[in-house]
C-alpha cells in the first residue's frame, strides 16, 4: 500500500456521487473502485481486498429506510469480517447512523459530504483496518504456535521404567492437578524440562501457553525487561512496548530453568513479583496482575547455596511447594535400554536408516557407562552412532567415545605388556578425537579397517 487510503471501494447507485468521490479520492488512494450495482459486492470482495469500503444506505429509488444498506453491510462482513465499512446516507439521522454502527459499520458520512471530513474519516478507518489485520495475524501466529507446541508434546514421550522414575511420574500426576509451585532438581540432561512440560500438559492449563526461560542466559541488565517487559522509550533500545515473559505466560505455565544461576539482586526482584503476583513493565507505573503456574529447575545445590548465603531462603520457600528430584541416569541404569531403543527409533527414522538395531553387547556397554551428561548424552550417543555406523546393528565399537577420560594422567608404560599398551593407546586416541574413528586411526598411523580389527581384538 503506497498512498494513505490504499484500496477504496465505493458502492452507490448515484453515478454523480461515484464520480465526485473518485475524483476526490484518487490522489489519496492506490485504487478507487466504484460500483453502482450492490449485487456485485460478493464478486468484488472475493477477488480483491479493500482497505476501506464506502457503502450507500439506500439503492432503490425513493426508499430511505436504510434496510438495503444493512443487508449489504452484513454480506460484506460475512465475506471479510475485518472489513471497515463507512455508510453513506443522504437522509442521515442519528437513528440510522447508530443502527448501522450497531450492525458492524465503522462510521458513517452524510451526503453531501465535506471533502476534508470524508478524507479524515477514511484515513482513520484505514488505520483501524490495519490494526484489525495485525490482530488477525497475531491470532493466527498464536494458534500456529499453540498447535506446534502441543504437537511437540504429544509426540515426545517420557521414558522411564525404574522405580525412581515411576515415583517421579506419580508425583507429576499428583501435582499437575493443582496450581502448586514446583521445583525440579537434577543434574544436567536428566530431563527437568521434559518433566516441567509433562506437568503443564497434564494440568488444567494445558490449552494455554508453556513459556520457558533460561535464567542462565539472561544478562543482569536485560533481566527486568525480559521477564517483566518494558514501555517504549524506557531505555535506548526500547523501540516499542513489549510484554515480558511473565505476561506472555499469563494463564499458562512459566518455567524458569537454571534458577540457581540468578544473582542475589535478581533473586530479590523475582521474589517481589512472586509475592505480589503482579509485574510492572520497565518505565511503566501501573502493575499488571499475573496468573501463572510456576515451575523452576536447577542443577545447582540450592540448599547448600542457602547455607552459604548465595541463594535467598525465602525465595526457595516461595518456589518449592512441591519438589521433584530427578536422579542421574547412572543411578537408574534400568532405564538405559528403553531410552536407547526409544532414541534408536527416533533417529533411525530421522536419518532414514530404519533397519538399525542395537546389539545386546552394545546395550550392556551403555548400561555400564556412568553418563555424566545423563539422558542428553545418551541421546547424542545414539544419534551419532546411527549417523556414523555403516552396518545394520550398532555394536560396542560404535560407542567408543564413551571411554572415560584419563588423558591427563601420566602412565608408566614399563608396567604393562605390549597388548595392554596398545589397548591404552587406542583408547586414548579415540577419546582425544571424541570417537571419530577416522581421525583416531590417522593419529595412530593405522587405516580405519585395521583400527576396527584392533578394537574388536581388545573388545572395545
Ligand atoms: N525420560 C525421558 N524420556 C525421553 N527423553 C528424555 C527423558 N529425559 C530426558 N530426555 C531427553 O533428553 C534431553 C535433555 O532433557 P532436558 O532438556 O529435559 O534436561 P534438563 O535436565 O532440563 O537439562 P539442563 O539441565 O541441561 O537444562 C532432551 O532432548 C529430552 O527430550
Distance 374 CA to ligand 1 centre (A): 8
pLDDT averaged per 10 residues in sequence order, the chain, 460 residues: 89 92 94 95 91 89 75 93 89 73 90 90 93 80 60 68 95 96 96 96 92 88 90 82 90 95 93 94 90 96 95 96 96 96 93 88 92 92 90 87 46 64 81 79 86 80
Q: Is 389 in the pocket of ligand 1 (CB under 6 A)?
A: no
Predicted confidence at residue 192, as pLDDT, reads 96
Asked whether 386 and 351 are in contact (CB, 8 A), the reply is yes
Predicted confidence at residue 60, as pLDDT, reads 74
Cα 338 from Cα 231, distance rounded (Å):
50
Distance 327 CA to ligand 1 centre (A): 12
Predicted confidence at residue 147, as pLDDT, reads 57
- Domains of the chain, first to last: 7-133 (3.40.50.2300), 161-327 (3.40.50.300), 330-457 (1.10.8.60)
Predicted confidence at residue 83, as pLDDT, reads 94
Predicted confidence at residue 355, as pLDDT, reads 76
Distance 299 CA to ligand 1 centre (A): 13
Give the pTM.
Answer: 0.63
Asked whether 52 and 28 are in contact (CB, 8 A), the reply is no
Residue 340 neighbours by CB under 8 Å, 6+ apart = 358, 363, 366, 378, 382
Predicted confidence at residue 345, as pLDDT, reads 93
Helices first, then strands: H and E counts in the chain: 18, 16
Predicted confidence at residue 409, as pLDDT, reads 45
Predicted confidence at residue 277, as pLDDT, reads 94
User: What does residue 441 show for φ and ψ, rounded to 5 degrees?
Assistant: -60, -45
Predicted confidence at residue 59, as pLDDT, reads 81
Q: What separation in angstroms does the CA of 66 have from each of 11, 70, 75, 240?
A: 14, 7, 15, 43
Burial of 392 (C-beta count, 10 Å sphere; 0-12/13-18/19+): exposed
Predicted confidence at residue 408, as pLDDT, reads 44
Structure-block grid coordinates of residue 318: 516461595
Q: Is 186 in the pocket of ligand 1 (CB under 6 A)?
A: yes
Question: What are the residue ranges of helices labelled H in 55-114?
Answer: 67-79, 94-102
Query: Distance of alpha carbon 370 from its chain centroid, rounded?
Result: 33
Amino acid at each position: 500500500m503506497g498512498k494513505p487510503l490504499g484500496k477504496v471501494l465505493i458502492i452507490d447507485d448515484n453515478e454523480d456521487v461515484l464520480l465526485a468521490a473518485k475524483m476526490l479520492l484518487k490522489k489519496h488512494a492506490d485504487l478507487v473502485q466504484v460500483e453502482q450495482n450492490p449485487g456485485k459486492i460478493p464478486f468484488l470482495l472475493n477477488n480483491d481486498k479493500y482497505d476501506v469500503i464506502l457503502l450507500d444506505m439506500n439503492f432503490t429509488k425513493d426508499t430511505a429506510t436504510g434496510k438495503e444498506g444493512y443487508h449489504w453491510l452484513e454480506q460484506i462482513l460475512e465475506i471479510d469480517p475485518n472489513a471497515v465499512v463507512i455508510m453513506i446516507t443522504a437522509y442521515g439521522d442519528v437513528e440510522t447512523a447508530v443502527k448501522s454502527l450497531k450492525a458492524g459499520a465503522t462510521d458513517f458520512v452524510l451526503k453531501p459530504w465535506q471533502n476534508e471530513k470524508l478524507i479524515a474519516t477514511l484515513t482513520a478507518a484505514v488505520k483501524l483496518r490495519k490494526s484489525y489485520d495485525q490482530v488477525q495475524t497475531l491470532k493466527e501466529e498464536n494458534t500456529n504456535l499453540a498447535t506446534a507446541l502441543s504437537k511437540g508434546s504429544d509426540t515426545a514421550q517420557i521414558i522411564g521404567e525404574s522405580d525412581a522414575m515411576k515415583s517421579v511420574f506419580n508425583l507429576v500426576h499428583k501435582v499437575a492437578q493443582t496450581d502448586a509451585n514446583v521445583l525440579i532438581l537434577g543434574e544436567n540432561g536428566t530431563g527437568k524440562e521434559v518433566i516441567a512440560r509433562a506437568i503443564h500438559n497434564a494440568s488444567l492449563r494445558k490449552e494455554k501457553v508453556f513459556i520457558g526461560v533460561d535464567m542462565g542466559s539472561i544478562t543482569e541488565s536485560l533481566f527486568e525487561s525480559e521477564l517483566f517487559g518494558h514501555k517504549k522509550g524506557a531505555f535506548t533500545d526500547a523501540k516499542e512496548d513489549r510484554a515480558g515473559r511473565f505476561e506472555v505466560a499469563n494463564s499458562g505455565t512459566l518455567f524458569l530453568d537454571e534458577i540457581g544461576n540468578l544473582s542475589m539482586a535478581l533473586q530479590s526482584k523475582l521474589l517481589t513479583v512472586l509475592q505480589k503476583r503482579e509485574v510492572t513493565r520497565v518505565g511503566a507505573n501501573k502493575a499488571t496482575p499475573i496468573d501463572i503456574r510456576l515451575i523452576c529447575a536447577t542443577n545447582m545445590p540450592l540448599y547448600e547455596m542457602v547455607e552459604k548465603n548465595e541463594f535467598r531462603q525465602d525465595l526457595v520457600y516461595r518456589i518449592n511447594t512441591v519438589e521433584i528430584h530427578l536422579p542421574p541416569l547412572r543411578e537408574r541404569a534400568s532405564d538405559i535400554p528403553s531410552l536407547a531403543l526409544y532414541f534408536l527409533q527416533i533417529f533411525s527414522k530421522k536419518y532414514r536408516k530404519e533397519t538399525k538395531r542395537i546389539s545386546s553387547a552394545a546395550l550392556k556397554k551403555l548400561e555400564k557407562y556412568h553418563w555424566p551428561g545423563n539422558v542428553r548424552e545418551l541421546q547424542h550417543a545414539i544419534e551419532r552412532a546411527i549417523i556414523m555406523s555403516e552396518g545394520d546393528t550398532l555394536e560396542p565399537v560404535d560407542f567408543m567415545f564413551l571411554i572415560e577420560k584419563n588423558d591427563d594422567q601420566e602412565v608408566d608404560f614399563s608396567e604393562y605388556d605390549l597388548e595392554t599398551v596398545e589397548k591404552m593407546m587406542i583408547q586414548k586416541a579415540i577419546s582425544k578425537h571424541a570417537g571419530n574413528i577416522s581421525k583416531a586411526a590417522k593419529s595412530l598411523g593405522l587405516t580405519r579397517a585395521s583400527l576396527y580389527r584392533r578394537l574388536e581384538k581388545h573388545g572395545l
